[in-house]
């Protein structure tokens, strides 16, 4: 079969089997800066280019859901100056980039504890960006911000209790319905950068059967070709979901 121009550009990648949902732990900003004798905050700033190139690469190959881990519930324990920088940086990033993302048909959403510790002005920017892009459907970009997988499960349990759901009615479906975004499909592929092999409290419920790809690239060096390589690796995997290869009844 003849290849389209796009297929040649993404050599080795089957555009018919692109994962619907890719989630990414953007890690290694501090080490990237340290390697250059720069303050850690410069590493965070350099991560903006990586984020935008990844989003554009994901749009290019038709990924419909992209979830990026930007700030964890544990990251509050970092030095106060770094936390303050990260709040301001994420706020200004939204102001700088939301129009361009909107024009590209990206819906921006935020997963995390929004009413806990996050400065009000940051919440305002998040709300504005989400409202501006709410009707877009080409891709949903979920920024996991002030996000913890355990906190999300705790919040879901609280919501179940508050809704008066009796214990006998609590099952996986009921809990899932109270996650931050019940309409979000589970990630097919999770990418973690910087050579660390851990989940660090990211999407604990949703990652049950995700394929994990780890890369040594530090986040500020990550570009769309790293994303395409990870998708190629994903396409070489065989997902079994606990069943036997091929027909489950064999
Ligand atoms: C990821 O980079 C960004 C955030 C967690 C906010 P790090 O800041 O964790 O960078 P390293 O892991 O220290 O290199
Ligand atoms: C995970 O990275 C959180 C984000 C990328 C926002 P961390 O750097 O915080 O994780 P650990 O400390 O290496 O596990
Ligand atoms: Mg880190």
Total domains in the fold of the chain:
1
Catalytic residue among 27, 29, 146, 188: 27
Atom of ligand 2 nearest to the CA of 144: 6
Return the closest-CA partner of residue 108 out of 88, 73, 75, 137: 137
Can you tell me which atom of ligand 2 is nearest the CA of 200? 14
Is residue 212 a part of any domain in this protein?
A: yes
Residue at 177 is within a domain? yes
- Classify residue 247: in a domain, yes or no: no
Active-site option among 6, 14, 53, 75? 75
Nearest Cα neighbor of 195 from 7, 13, 9, 28 is 28
Question: From the CA of 77, how far away is ligand 1's center (Å)?
Answer: 12
Does pTM surpass 0.75?
yes
**Cα(41)–Cα(47) distance, integer angstroms:** 10
| 70 part of a folded domain | yes
Does 107 fall in a domain? Answer: yes
Encode pLDDT of 140-178 as tens digits: 999 999 999 999 999 999 999 999 999 999 999 999 999
Domain that holds residue 52: 5-235
Cα 25 from Cα 62, distance rounded (Å): 20
Helix 80-103 / helix 120-133 crossing angle, nearest 10 deg: 20
Residue 199 domain-assigned (yes or no): yes
Assess if residue 171 is contained within a domain: yes
Residue 33 located in a structural domain: yes
Residue 75 known to be catalytic: yes
Model pLDDT for residues 90-137, shown as the tens digit of each residue = 999 999 999 999 999 999 999 999 889 999 999 999 999 999 999 999
């Amino acid at each position: 079969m003849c290849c389209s121009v796009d297929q040649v550009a993404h050599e080795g990648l089957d555009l018919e089997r692109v994962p619907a949902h890719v989630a990414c732990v953007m890690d290694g900003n501090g080490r990237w800066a340290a390697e250059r004798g720069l303050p850690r905050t410069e590493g965070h700033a350099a991560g903006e280019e990586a984020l935008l190139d990844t989003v554009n690469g994901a749009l290019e190959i038709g990924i419909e859901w992209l979830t990026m881990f930007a700030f964890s519930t544990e990251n509050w324990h970092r030095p106060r100056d770094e936390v303050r920088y990260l709040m301001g940086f994420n706020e200004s990033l939204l102001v700088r980039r939301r129009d361009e993302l909107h024009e590209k048909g990206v819906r921006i959403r935020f997963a995390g504890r929004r009413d806990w510790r996050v400065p009000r002005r940051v919440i305002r920017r998040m709300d504005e960006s989400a409202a501006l892009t709410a009707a877009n459907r080409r891709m949903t970009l979920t920024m996991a911000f002030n996000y913890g997988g355990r906190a999300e499960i705790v919040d879901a349990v609280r919501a179940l209790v508050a809704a008066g759901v009796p214990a006998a009615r609590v099952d996986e479906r009921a809990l899932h319905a109270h996650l931050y975004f019940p309409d979000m499909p589970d990630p097919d592929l999770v990418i973690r950068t910087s050579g660390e092999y851990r989940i660090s409290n990211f999407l604990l419920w949703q990652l049950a059967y995700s394929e994990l790809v780890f890369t040594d690239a530090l986040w500020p060096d990550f570009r769309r070709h790293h994303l395409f390589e990870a998708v190629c690796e994903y396409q070489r995997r065989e997902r079994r979901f606990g069943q036997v290869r091929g027909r489950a009844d064999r």
